Structure 1
Amino acid sequence: MSQAIYYINQNGITLSDSIPEQAIDIPIGKVFDKETLLTSLAEACDFPSYFAHNWDSAWDCLTDSKVAYLALNLAAVENINTEDFNVFKGIIEDAYKDFGKPQLWVTMPTKDKD
């Protein structure tokens, strides 16, 4: 069954399918937040100059583009704004529901073992 979002553990072992070779990597540094994500997403997907760096504009640009597969590696991210991450996942799920694209593969950080 096809879905919008797939999660992968840090060792690269998929929980569903493997990341497609043609997936566009969204580079993220140490902090995942709205600003960082939208900037990286726009650059990686070559969004048009009218991209407004907001959630609605990201949805518009993703659904208007030919981008079908995205990869987001959060394994090395030190600070994840969960609200922004959840909004982004919602955008992906809505776009996939309406247009059948894009699909997102997320490499998740492993939890520290104390």
Structure 2
Amino acid sequence: MIPQAKHTQELFSIIIQHNSVQEIRETIKLFMDSMKDTTLNTLLMKDSDYQTCQQEYLRAYECYQNDDFSTAQRDTVDSMLAQIDECHLAYATNAYFAGLIDSYRIIKSMES
């Protein structure tokens, strides 16, 4: 059995064990999220634009760490950065799912 088919079988066996649609949705989301992380990390490691952006961020963050901010200022900035990170993660996850859905639709439309 190919690995992907095994994962699909595992997913379906987990899904039929759950009782609610929400549990099924969460299970699928976890499964797809783990796939996304592997694929996305591979792509990002090879993307020179992303790597450049990441290096620029790290330089800016180092400057931020070395600047003389008050505790309140640092807390405000840290909170803002945490919120934007959370938003970006949600955006990336939804963009990945949208891509999967669109890919499925394209394949289905080609079969018609």
Report the TM range for the smaller structure's normalisation. Answer: under 0.3
Q: Which has the higher strand share?
A: 1
* TM-score under structure 1 length normalisation: 0.25
Which is greater in Rg?
2
Q: Which has the higher helix share?
A: 2
| TM-score (structure 2 length as normaliser) | 0.25
| Bigger relative contact order (CA 8 A; separation at least 6) | 1
